[in-house]
Amino acid sequence: MKSRIRRRIAAAAAASALGLAVSASASAQARTVNVSAASGTFTGSRQYAYYGYVKVQVVLASGAVSGIRIMEYPNDNGRSHYINSVALPYLVQETVGGSTWKVDLVSGATFTSMAYVKSLQAALKQAGL
Amino acid sequence: MTRTEIIMGMPITLAIPDREAMDRPGALLPTLEDAAEAVFQGFRDVDERFSPYKEHSETSRINRGELDPQEASREMREVLVLAEQTRAQTDGFFNVRHKGRFDPSGLVKGWAIWRAAQILDNDGFLSFCIEAGGDIEVRGANDQGEPWVIGIRSPFDPSLMIRRLRLPTCGIATSGTYIRGEHIWNPRTGTAANEIASLTVIGPNVYEADRFATAAFAMGRRGIEFLAGQQGLEGYMVDSSATATYTPGFARYLAA
């Protein structure tokens, strides 16, 4: 039972990492945890993500993730600034998919998502799952 | 030789083709292992000095008013000068001061990788890659003696890549996020459509690539146009509808 729940949560976490629908739901009060059917709101630890900290809260209903709320995440600076328009250059467009290739290294913004997963894991551990 | 350590809250990887151990006149030069240790120690030192999350770092002491920036270490003063330069070059989009606090993090990562590359340079290494949190200084050729093959991570699924690049000596950096405010955005239903998911920049070195990736990402959709107008910089932007827009010069790096 416990491992099945863990798998379900892992699937939910994976789904959220994929950008699928995981909405922040209204937070419920934390309740006593029943390992086989944990319900309530659990907050993960703050995880260092270089540009700041990430902290997530997970809402469980009978052992299934019903919502994940991002409590804290690193902010970008200067979003509201205005930039002078440059002449529109010729840009190329393509649709991207996803593949697994053999490469030497990978460039990507991974720090936030890694901290996210760690904080989520901490929240789930707190829920006894 | 490939070695990874977690420093500054992120994985840092150093890859050096084994032939580098033979190609260099070894007697007077450090071994691959010694050189690697110097590189990782460099990152640890940078973390101690610049982290806004360490109580005794120079950054924290400057923020508490305990340290006059003019009396800070040579490294800190160098970063302060570079920060001011970058602010001017990016129309103010890059600013290490916000809400009254000083936070050089947006600049220090690329700078630290670049400095690490200089350590290897000085020891006579011609080929290596140093990656920290997805930003990479690329030098020379890989284990097969060919251009390094670098993937661009999918902003929609960190286990996948959206493009494969063959890179000569250069720097590459990607800014992006999976998380925006309180929601996780959904490329399929179009929530937050047209938001920029990730922006990859190739420049002459990782310091240039990183600071312009950070600044151009903050510009939103205009970031890619800004990059197209910059000498020596190429960009590849992915938005939430899984459409990539890239500067014409980026095409020469794309592998099939």
Work out the pLDDT band at A118, boundaries 50, 70, 90. low
In a domain, A87, yes or no: no
Tell whether A97 is covered by a domain: no
Q: Which domain holds residue A117?
A: 2-75+109-126
Q: Does the residue A63 lie in any domain?
A: yes
Question: Could you tell me which of A85, A36, A92 has the C-alpha nearest to residue B252?
Answer: A92
**Chain A residues in contact with B105 (beta carbon < 8 A):** 50-52
pLDDT recorded at residue B155: 85
Predicted confidence at residue A74, as pLDDT, reads 56
User: Which residues from A are below 8 Å from B106, CB to CB?
Assistant: 51, 77
Task: Pick from A78-82, A93-97, B27-31 the range whose average pLDDT is largest.
Answer: A93-97
CB pair distance less than 8 Å for A91 and B246: yes
Percent of chain B scoring above 70 in pLDDT: 92
CB of A97 within 8 Å of any CB in chain B? Answer: yes
User: Comparing B11-15, B103-107, B234-238, B248-252, which segment has the lowest mean pLDDT?
Assistant: B103-107
Q: How far is CA A119 from the centre of its chain?
A: 9
Domains contained in chain A, number: 1
For residue A77, name the pLDDT band (cuts at 50, 70, 90).
very low
Q: Within an 8 Å CB–CB cutoff, is residue A95 touching chain B?
A: yes
Q: What percent of chain B has pLDDT over 90?
A: 63
Please indicate if any CB of chain B lies within 8 Å of the CB of A110: yes
Please calculate the CA angle A106-A111-A114 and round it to the nearest 5 degrees.
100
Point out the least confidently predicted range of A89-98, B68-77, B195-204.
Answer: A89-98
User: Of A21-30, A97-106, A115-124, which one has max mean pLDDT?
Assistant: A97-106
- Cβ separation of B136 and A84 shorter than 8 Å? no
Q: Answer yes or no: is pLDDT of A25 > 60.
A: no
**Given a cut of 60, is residue A76 above it in pLDDT?**
no
Mean pLDDT of B183-207: 68
Looking at the domain assignment, is residue A98 inside a domain? no
**Does residue A92 fall inside a structural domain?**
no
Higher pLDDT, B149 or A53: B149
Residue B112 binned pLDDT confidence (cut-offs 50, 70, 90): very high
In chain A, residues with a C-beta closer than 8 Å to the C-beta of B179 are 54, 70, 73, 112-113, 116
Identify which of B42, B154, B159, B60 has the alpha carbon closest to the alpha carbon of residue B104. Answer: B60
Q: How far is B97 from chain A (nearest CA, A)?
A: 9
pLDDT-based confidence at residue A49 (cuts at 50, 70, 90)? low
Domains of chain B as residue ranges with CATH: 1-139 (3.10.520.10), 147-256 (3.10.520.10)
Q: Residue A16 above 50 pLDDT?
A: no
Q: Which residues of A touch B143 (CB under 8 A)?
A: 104
pLDDT at position A48: 67
- pLDDT > 70 fraction of chain A, expressed in percent and rounded: 39
Q: Assign A34 a pLDDT band (cuts: 50, 70, 90).
A: very low
pTM confidence score: 0.72
Q: Return the pLDDT at B80.
A: 94
Please state which of the ranges B14-18, B76-80, B84-88, B133-137 shows the lowest mean pLDDT: B84-88
Burial class (CB in 10 A: 0-12, 13-18, 19+), B93: buried
* Count of CA atoms in the C-beta half-sphere (13 A) of B96: 25
Question: Residue range B143-161: average pLDDT?
Answer: 91
Query: Across chain A, how many H-helices and E-strands are there?
Result: 2, 6
Q: What is the mean pLDDT of residues B88-110?
A: 83
- Per-residue pLDDT for B79 more than 90? yes
Note whether residue A66 is domain-resident: yes
Residue A80 touches chain B, beta carbons under 8 Å: no
Could you please report the per-residue DSSP string of B152-165? EEPSS-TT-EEEEE
CB contacts of A113 in chain B (<8 Å) are 158, 178-179
Per the document, the length of chain A is 129
Higher per-residue confidence, A128 vs B182 = A128
Residues facing residue A65 across a β-bridge: A60
Residue A55 within any structural domain of the chain: yes
Stretch (H or E) spanning A47? strand A47-48
| pLDDT of B189 strictly over 60 | no
B171 touches chain A (CB under 8 A): no
B32-69 pLDDT, tens digit each: 999 999 999 999 999 999 998 899 999 999 999 999 99
Separation between Cα atoms, residue A126 and residue A96, nearest integer Å: 38
Residue A88 has a pLDDT of 47
Q: SS3 of A74, please?
A: coil
**Is A37 among the domain residues?**
yes
Q: Which amino acid is at B241?
A: S
CA distances from A99 to A45, B50, B161, B186, B239 (A): 32, 37, 5, 19, 18
The pLDDT of residue B26: 59
Of A81, A102, A109, the CB nearest to B134: A109
Mean pLDDT of chain B: 88
